[in-house]
A and B are shown apart, each in its own frame.
Chain A
Amino acid sequence: MQATFRIWRSKAAEGGGFVDYPTEVSEGMVVLDAVHQIQADQAPDLACRWNCKAGKCGSCSAEINGRPKLMCMTRLNTLDLTQPVTVEPMRTFPLMKDLVTDVSWNFRVKPTIKKFTPRKPDAADGTWRMAQRDADRVQEFRKCIECFLCQDVCHVLRDHDKHDEFIGPRFFTYSAALEMHPLDSADRLRDLKDTHGIGYCNITKCCTKVCPEHIHITDNAIIPLKERVVDRFYDPVTRLLRVFSGGRAT
């Protein structure tokens, strides 16, 4: 069977455009297989980032028929092959070439989040004790493969270009993994409110929908962090209770 792949090709001078590549496809193929076949047969200069082909490295993120997905995890039998399948680079990040984007902004954001700061050891031998259930809650966030599809689909970055004021769903998940960790003692709430822009999130859940690891980004990471920020900065009752209990007022 033959299918047509409409792939974004960049041209440094003009910006870029779609080019149609008809190619043979067979049962069991994924979009990345087709792209590799096109590279081998028709377009050896087609740039495409990939690595594991197993949905674990997060390298082959792209927009397939307009939806942010991993190319290696998008089976062709889930697509309508009677029409050309569009394959585009992630729109939120600067394009380097064809399907490859420059995601280094994410690597600059990560160091701005306070590192894991364990409390004093629980035992004299310098070890800690924590319940499995408490560890399970943050374990979900550690499934992230940093494919940055959530960053790509988030309209605060994608449509409003708030890269300087908003760290995006990937790093709210990372912050949640640290902030909710049973051993961690650092306080990231003011950063989340003032410099990381959690207030910009308007809970559209697009990040959750595109996550290939099925992390409940909005419900389990962003909203719980938003509520902790509300506790600290917006709720006069909890602020008053903290004053009376000798805790931090702001």
Chain B
Amino acid sequence: MQVIPVTTIHRGFGTTSRRDAWWATPLAVFVGLSAFVVYATWAAFQGEHYTYGPYLSPFYSPELFGDSPHAWFGPKPAAWPGWVPFSPALFILPFPGLFRFTCYYYRGAYYKAFWADPPSCAVGEPRKSYRGENSFPLVLQNAHRFFMWVALVFIVFLAYDVWLALWFTNPATGAKEFGIGVGTLILAVNVCLLAGYTWGCHVLRHVVGGRKDEVSKSPVCDMAYACVSGLNGRHQLFAWMSLFSVMSSDLYVRLCSMGILTDLRLL
């Protein structure tokens, strides 16, 4: 029987028989991720308005060097070159940024939205050549596991920030007193969402049990694998919610610090 090679009638970029709005999801991802990158870059270079009372913006946590009381090692190092812009966030943001950049969910999303590889499922691509993650530079995505370990440590720092956000300075006495403000709740929700995202990471799932063929032989691994798998099933949801929450947390602290918003004390 004669075989007609269908591949010769492949269509060009964006052509498809699909009737649905296949472009809507990649467009939403493009807009959402672009907005985050633009805001995060802008916020990182501000170098001010990142604390308010006991609150510290997650973009600047942990604050290694800086002028706020949250700084671990005091103000900007004297040896810092004058021509290099300084902001405490520049020490921090590359790590969670690279964790997200190399995340399996985000990879699939931005390959479609930013590189049209493919634009959407069963939709024609703009290029014929393709190397995937087989060779440089995308083979470097395999470094995701190292950023995952850093991200796990950052969850501890951010949780500690929530603890600190429970202790307000009494302006009359100067003493620390327990309290809960709207900012405390925002930072608490943020760390929960970030933990949901980080603890559902595919690499963590592999490390705690996925690498074993008989994970049931190790009860601790077995339980951890089940927990991480549960979160992993909602990885996309946590990826977006935590992205939104971390941006909202920074914005809230920033607006309070600038005097545009008033932080309500609930307790």
Contacts and interface: CB of A to CB of B under 8 A. Distances in A.
Among A15, A95, A202, A234, max chain B CB count under 10 A is at: A202
Contacts of B1: 96-97
B104 interface: yes
Interface string B113-150: 00001100110110011111111001100100100000
B213 A134 contact: yes
A182 B3 CA distance: 42
A223 interface: yes
A227 B132 contact: no
Interface string A81-125: 001001011111111110001100000000000000000000000
B107 A235 contact: no
B202 A95 contact: no
Give the size category of A's interface with B: 35 or more
Interface in A171-192: 179-182, 184
Interface stretch (A20-28, A31-39, A204-212): A204-212
A75 interface: no
Given A66-B19, A155-B118, A130 B133 contact: no
B263 interface: no
B6 A93 contact: yes
Contact of A227 (B8, B17, B125, B206): B206
A10 B9 CA distance: 12
Nearest to A83: B19
A169 to B, nearest CB: 12
Given A80-B19, A204-B108, A223-B104, A134 B216 contact: yes
Given A94-B7, A201-B132, A134 B215 contact: yes
A30 interface: no
A91 B10 contact: yes
A205 B29 CA distance: 15
A248 interface: no
A88 to B, nearest CB: 6
Contact of A231 (B4, B19, B108, B211): B211
Nearest to B202: A223
Contact of A206 (B107, B122, B133, B139): B122
Given A65-B19, A91-B10, A197 B122 contact: no
Given A94-B4, A153-B121, A160 B214 contact: no
Contact of B132 (A68, A200, A205): A200
Contacts of A218: 108
Interface in B192-219: 202-203, 205-206, 210-211, 213-217
B122 A227 contact: no
A234 B18 contact: no
B82 interface: no
A200 B134 contact: yes
B99 to A, nearest CB: 15
24 contacts: A16-B9, A65-B17, A65-B19, A66-B16, A66-B18, A67-B122, A90-B6, A91-B122, A95-B6, A97-B1, A101-B6, A160-B125, A181-B213, A200-B133, A202-B117, A204-B117, A204-B121, A224-B210, A227-B206, A227-B211, A228-B206, A228-B211, A231-B211, A234-B139
Interface of B: 1-10, 16-20, 104-105, 107-108, 111-112, 117-118, 121-122, 124-125, 128-135, 138-139, 142, 145, 202-203, 205-206, 210-211, 213-217, 222, 232-233, 235
Per CB-CB distance, the 9 closest pairs between chain A and chain B, nearest first, are A66-B17, A199-B134, A66-B18, A206-B121, A200-B132, A131-B216, A227-B206, A203-B108, A160-B130
